Amino acid sequence: VSQRDDEQLLVDARRDTDAFEAFYRRHVATVIRFAARRSTSPDEVVDLVAAVWLEVVASIDRFDPKRGKAVPWILGIGANLCASDARRRAREREAANRLTGQRVLEEDEYARLERELDAAAVAPQILEAFEQLPPSERAIAELTLVDGLSPTEASAALGIRPSAARMRLARAKRKLHATIDWPELTQEVSP
Amino acid sequence: MKSAQSGFEERLLPILVEDLRERQSSSTARPRSQGHRGRWTAALAAAAVVVVVGLVTSSGPEDAPLTFVVTSGAMTPTLAVGQHVAVDPSAYRSAAPARGDIIAFTIPAYPGLVAMKRVVGVAGDTVEERSGNVFVNGRALDEPYASLDTYSGGPWVVMPGSVFVMGDNRPDSNDSRYSMGQIPITDILGEVLLGVTPEDAPQPPPPPVVTQSP
């Protein structure tokens, strides 16, 4: 099998389940880390990972490689899902229902996810500060400051204009600054 | 990769593949992103109205902010009468409107008007107002941005595909509590960008478009 790039794989995945499977295996670990940074228990990680991928499949026709890369796109789907409590809850319920019967985590799997949580650990006061942000600012702030996307990637991921993203990010940083002492925040304030 | 060989990811994969197969068989020619298209139809309709009235020059590329002048006091103190505001038409392309967002939207009953209100409830929420205090899903909102009234109404359940909006100037706002009703997401033009002054937005000065809430 020749190595298709992520974007081609995700486009092909609309019609080709093998392409989807390849894409999924390549990036499920990234989504697990994304979820671990937003979760406090292994069960939460599982629910969120499942919810994000269900949403990815539901939106797969909308991926447009001209607008951005595939991985920021799936993280954007995740961030948008997290920004909407109702939608996230609905997706997680759906995921939990459909994984029923196979949902209990094996002990070693539990341990593995706990290691993911430890590795992803964000200080509780930082998480709390993010929680105070309005959802639209929180999504862009988390994608850039926590997940490490560039502001441009994050704006493409969220489907907003880069200038809108920069404004939201600047606003978010001002608010985060007011709550926590986080020196890194000052380093990359966009013009 | 290694971790994908075992664990819940493996159990999740067949569910996703099943969904994908279902999509493939049911939607070989589904138009992309219907909601998006609906919003653009609404945005174009609104733009067409202002162009006809001759108050706006061409509205530019698809992601350019729409600009308006506030003529109604229903959103004071957040939006002042006479204030120029920018609306981001791409804000809800992939994200749903969230509680607390201020949105601009059209009202089919008032062609040509653009209203701006705050989203208080999203689909599935239960909204209630008791003596001026607003409760969403049973939890009282802390609303430092609003000037409150003493109204009691609801509970209202927010319908799928809609949002429940209120003006920040509660005593003087027609909104989802009254005849305006819930706002279909397809009528939303975009998110009002607060704190966007002409210096922030790399735009020509806002044209004198007159908009007003009924």
**Average of pLDDT values for A15-26?**
93
The pTM (predicted TM-score) of the whole model is: 0.50
- pLDDT-derived band of residue A19, with 50, 70 and 90 as boundaries? very high
Give Cα A138 distance to the centre of its chain: 12
* Residues whose CB falls within 8 Å of the CB of residue B66, separated by 6 or more in sequence, listed in order: B43, B46, B47, B59, B86, B87, B89, B104, B189, B190
- Is B12 in contact with A83 (Cβ distance < 8 A)? no
Q: Lowest mean pLDDT: which of A24-28, A89-93, B43-47, B184-188?
A: B43-47
- Check if A25 contacts B (Cβ < 8 Å): yes
Q: Are A129 and A120 in contact (CB under 8 A)?
A: no
**Whether the Cβ atoms of residue B122 and residue B97 lie closer than 8 Å to each other:** yes
Contact A159 B94 (CB under 8 A): yes
Note the ipTM here: 0.83
A52 in contact with B at a CB cutoff of 8 Å?
no
Which residues 6+ apart lie within 8 Å of B185 measured at CB? B35, B39, B92, B96, B97, B161, B162, B163
Percent of all residues in chain A with a pLDDT value above 70, rounded to a whole number: 87
Contacts of B67 in chain A (CB under 8 A): none
Per-residue pLDDT of A65-80, as tens digits, reads: 988 899 999 999 998 8
B65 phi and psi angles, rounded to 5 deg = -60, 145
Q: Mutating which of B5, B9, B67, B157 best tests the A interface, going by the most A Cβ atoms within 10 A?
A: B9
Query: Looking at CA atoms only, how far is residue A118 from chain B in angstroms?
Result: 16
Tell me whether residues A17 and B9 touch, CB distance under 8 A. no
CB nearest B13 (choices: A21, A58, A59): A21
* A33–B contact, CB cutoff 8 A: no
Cα A43 off chain centre by: 17
**Residue A150 pLDDT exceeds 80:** yes
Judged by a CB distance cut-off of 8 A, whether residue B49 touches chain A is: no
Q: Which residues of chain B have pLDDT under 50?
A: 1-5, 27-42, 44-60, 198-199, 201-210, 212-214
- Which of residues A62 and A122 earns the better pLDDT score? A62
DSSP helix/strand/coil, B56 = coil
* Cβ-defined contact of A161 to B3 (cutoff 8 Å): no
**Which of A141-173 are b and which e, b meaning 16 or more Cβ less than 10 Å from the residue's Cβ?**
bbbbbbbebebebbbbbbbbbbbbbbbbbbbbb
Per-residue pLDDT, B45 = 46
What are B88's strand-pairing partners? B191
User: Tokens 């020509």 label which residue?
Assistant: B204
The CA–CA distances, whole Å, from A132 to A117, A127, B38, B138 equal 22, 9, 32, 20
Please answer whether residues A167 and B200 qualify as being in contact, where contact means their C-beta atoms are separated by less than 8 angstroms. yes
Residues of A in contact with B13 (CB under 8 A): 21, 24
Compute the distance between CA of residue A128 and CA of residue A107 in angstroms, rounded to an integer: 29
Residues in a beta bridge with B117: B103
| pLDDT bucket at A102, cuts 50 / 70 / 90 | low
Selected residues 114-143 of chain B with any CB under 8 Å from a CB in chain A: 122-125
Please report where in the chains the tokens 């919003």 appear, as a residue.
B39
Rounded to a whole number of angstroms, the distance from the CA of A25 to the nearest CA of chain B is 6
* Better-scored residue on pLDDT, B34 or A11: A11
Structure tokens at B95: 């994200």
> What residue ranges in B74-167 does DSSP mark as E strands?
84-88, 102-106, 114-122, 126-130, 133-136, 139-140, 153-157, 162-166
Identify whether B155 is preceded by a cis peptide bond (ω within 30 of 0): yes
Residue A17 CB contacts under 8 Å (≥ 6 apart), including other chains = B17, B20, B21
Q: Which of residues 65-84 of A touch B (CB under 8 A)?
A: 76-77, 80, 83-84
Residue in A57, A63, A94 to test binding to B, most B beta-carbons within 10 Å: A57
Instruction: Kindly list the residues from chain B whose CB atom is less than 8 angstroms away from the CB atom of residue A84.
Output: 95-96, 98, 122
Q: Does B25 touch chain A (CB under 8 A)?
A: no
At residue B155, φ and ψ (nearest 5 deg) are -70, 145
Element (H, E) at B190: strand B188-193
Q: What pLDDT sits at residue A182?
A: 56
* Contact yes or no for B6 and A21 at CB 8 A: no
CB pairs under 8 A between A and B: 130
Selecting from B1, B21, B124 the residue whose C-beta is nearest the C-beta of A86 gives: B124
| Best-predicted range by mean pLDDT (A41-45, A85-89, A127-131) | A41-45
CA–CA separation, B10 vs B193, rounded Å?
42
Residues of B in contact with A80 (CB under 8 A): 94-96
